[in-house]
Structure 1
Amino acid sequence: MKKLVILVLFTVSLSCKEQVKPQEKLEQQKEQIVVSNDFPEELEKIFDAHGGFAIWRKQKTLVFDLPKPKARETHTIDLISRKDKVTTANYSMGFDGEGVWLLDADKTYKGDPIFYHNLMFYFYAMPFVLADDGINYAATENLEYEGVSYPGIRISYDNGIGVSSKDEYYLHYHPETFKMQWLGYTVTYRSGEVSDNVKWIRYSDWMDVNGLLLPKAITWYNYEGSTIKEEKSTVTFENMTLSDTKKEVGFYQKPEAASFVIKE
């Protein structure tokens, strides 16, 4: 009889736990969602001005072309895993989830694949890429240009995030429309040291891509500190597509003839 009572109590206890678990799981999911969207109010407004973060997070694959003088580049990025692939007529490179690879039989590529393979993705996917995990937000001084004062947000990264976690970004937006207007950034990849040399890119040419405002062209400017000077160079993007479907299995995989790149 005693054993029967214990068995009944155990069964009731187990039943209660099974009934509570779904609710506990739901609350945990809610907490995770709140944390993942815990952006500064200004950044939320910037996302909204560009179509909304909810639309962005539904996308799985991004593709765009960079028309360069020597070789047109096609960049393809898995927005969930951040695997990527850059293809040209002469060479290709990418990140397969484990390492960066390069396929370049004729040795025509002279850059650094580790630094470059996803560089243009980060510039192109602004402002939404600034919602990634491991990011810290802080206030920064307004950027003054041609009589307009552009408020800004300073972005830094937790240690170990990305190839250069000491890099910093400065996102400046229009005070009335909240559309992104300027991006300041530092480069610490090779030195590994914090830099105060902030380069500046103007974002003023946007286009609608599947309901989101993404750049059609971005322009680097000469500068002295935070004083913006004349235009320096412009990069244009073509054939941009966003899709809620993923590429086929193996698309980002290192080709058999390619080699993994070792950071120097």
Structure 2
Amino acid sequence: MKKFFLAIVVLTSLSCNQNQKKEAPSNDIIMSEPDGGIGDGAVSPAVAFAQDIEQAHNKEQWNTQRAVSFNIDLSFGGKKQLKGKITSLTNSSRIRIDQEDGTILVYDGEGVYLCPKDADSNRARFNMFTWQYFFALPFKLTDPGTNWEIMEPSVIDKDTFYRGKLTFDDTIGDAPDDWYVVYQEANSRLLHAAAYIVTFGSNKEKAEKNPHAIVYRDYKVIDGIPVATKWTFHNWSMDEGIQDQIGEASISDIIFFNAKSELFDRPENSKSIEK
């Protein structure tokens, strides 16, 4: 997943104090597609598709907010995968996850850290960036290093959804070979779904044999910003599209706030997560 990318009010921990880090600047917007634009500084139809989704989600208002936090309750195949609170700066340059079991994950802009040191690090880096990215996706579609191409619309239960394919430059995130097929609702213009592959810890050829999709549901407007409060995960294929459900997540207690920098400092009694 992207970084993800390819996730609060400060939750206290007896063993997890923090040290202050320098904050990263906001990203500039880069608008591109694999075959380039259409000349004279005009925005290509593919980039216009991505911009239209961002506009429908009120990205301008999103960018005025410093940070956002939300609770997540995530399960796949009936098994709990993650429950806790995710906080990030809205530009995704800092992320923190406070899990229900007391473990803390922090991305301070340079490295990923897990507290306490003896906590299970399996999929820690994946969790660090993936779920925050899914939450922030409608506002990151024209981030630096994003590339777009238009696809044929899709009809689902007689409803038409516009589609575009998102790929990334080689230098972007932990898994630049990831790609997304993004679905836009025709009437609301909001993000409906995103099919994706997961190349983190794998390779593109293998990942493309097992693509999935996230569907965004039950939108609520928080401080003028439409945010999905339910996600469902599905099997997906280029021919069949969105198929049977395999997982779900509930998103609650969404709060925009002015986070203090030290919230994202590396905790004491933590270990670095490289992979």
The equivalent of 1:231 in structure 2 is 245
Structure 2 counterpart of 1:261, from 236, 255, 273: 273
The answer to which structure has the higher helix fraction is 1
User: What TM-score, normalized by structure 1, do the two folds share?
Assistant: 0.77
Corresponding position: 1:95 with 2:124: no
The equivalent of 1:9 in structure 2 is none
1:231–1:116 distance in 2 versus 1, CA, 3 Å:
same
The structural deviation recorded for 1:81 is 5.7
User: What TM-score, normalized by structure 2, do the two folds share?
Assistant: 0.74
In the alignment, the residues of structure 2 paired with residue 35 and residue 193 of structure 1 have an alpha-carbon distance, to the nearest angstrom, of 24
For each residue in 1:143-190, what CA deviation from the matched residue of structure 2 results, as whole angstroms up to 9, or x when unmatched? 332222311111111111011011001111122321211111111111
The equivalent of 2:174 in structure 1 is 163
- RMSD in angstroms over aligned alpha carbons? 2.6
In the alignment, the residues of structure 2 paired with residue 33 and residue 171 of structure 1 have an alpha-carbon distance, to the nearest angstrom, of 19
The equivalent of 2:213 in structure 1 is 200
1:119–1:71 distance in 2 versus 1, CA, 3 Å:
closer
For each residue in 1:91-132, what CA deviation from the matched residue of structure 2 results, as whole angstroms up to 9, or x when unmatched? 11111122111013553x363221111211111123112232
Larger radius of gyration: 1
For each residue in 1:3-31, what CA deviation from the matched residue of structure 2 results, as whole angstroms up to 9, or x when unmatched? xxxxxxxxxxxxxxxxxxxxxxxxxxxxx
Residue 44 of structure 1 aligns with an amino acid whose one-letter code is: Q
Residue 62 of structure 2 aligns with an amino acid whose one-letter code is: W
Q: Is the 8 A contact 1:71 1:90 kept in 2?
A: no
Q: Is the 8 A contact 2:31 2:146 kept in 1?
A: no
The structural deviation recorded for 1:232 is 2.5
Q: Is the 8 A contact 2:89 2:95 kept in 1?
A: yes
In the alignment, the residues of structure 2 paired with residue 183 and residue 33 of structure 1 have an alpha-carbon distance, to the nearest angstrom, of 21
Residue 138 of structure 1 aligns to a residue in which SS?
A: strand
Q: Is the 8 A contact 2:211 2:235 kept in 1?
A: no
The equivalent of 2:127 in structure 1 is 116
Corresponding position: 1:49 with 2:56: yes
The structural deviation recorded for 1:53 is 2.1
Residue 176 of structure 2 aligns to a residue in which SS?
A: coil
In the alignment, the residues of structure 1 paired with residue 83 and residue 155 of structure 2 have an alpha-carbon distance, to the nearest angstrom, of 35
Residue 54 of structure 1 aligns to a residue in which SS?
A: helix
The structural deviation recorded for 1:38 is 5.7
In the alignment, the residues of structure 2 paired with residue 207 and residue 153 of structure 1 have an alpha-carbon distance, to the nearest angstrom, of 24
Residue 273 of structure 2 aligns with an amino acid whose one-letter code is: V
Structure 2 counterpart of 1:143, from 151, 154, 179: 154
Q: How does 1:1-264 map to 2 (within 5 A)?
A: 40-50=47-57, 52-67=58-73, 72-80=83-91, 82-88=93-99, 89-104=101-116, 107=119, 109=120, 111-194=122-205, 195-196=207-208, 197-227=210-240, 228-243=242-257, 245=258, 247-263=259-275
The structural deviation recorded for 1:218 is 0.8
Residue 125 of structure 1 aligns to a residue in which SS?
A: helix
Q: Is the 8 A contact 1:182 1:200 kept in 2?
A: yes
Residue 57 of structure 1 aligns to a residue in which SS?
A: helix
Residue 56 of structure 1 aligns to a residue in which SS?
A: helix
1:216–1:33 distance in 2 versus 1, CA, 3 Å:
closer
Residue 153 of structure 1 aligns to a residue in which SS?
A: strand
Q: Is the 8 A contact 2:195 2:212 kept in 1?
A: yes
The equivalent of 1:7 in structure 2 is none
1:219–1:81 distance in 2 versus 1, CA, 3 Å:
closer
Moved more, 188-197 or 121-130: 188-197
Please list every run of at least 4 consecutive aligned residues from structure 1 whose deviation after the TM superposition is greater than 4 angstroms. 32-39, 68-71
The equivalent of 1:27 in structure 2 is none
Residue 102 of structure 1 aligns to a residue in which SS?
A: strand
Q: Is the 8 A contact 1:143 1:226 kept in 2?
A: no
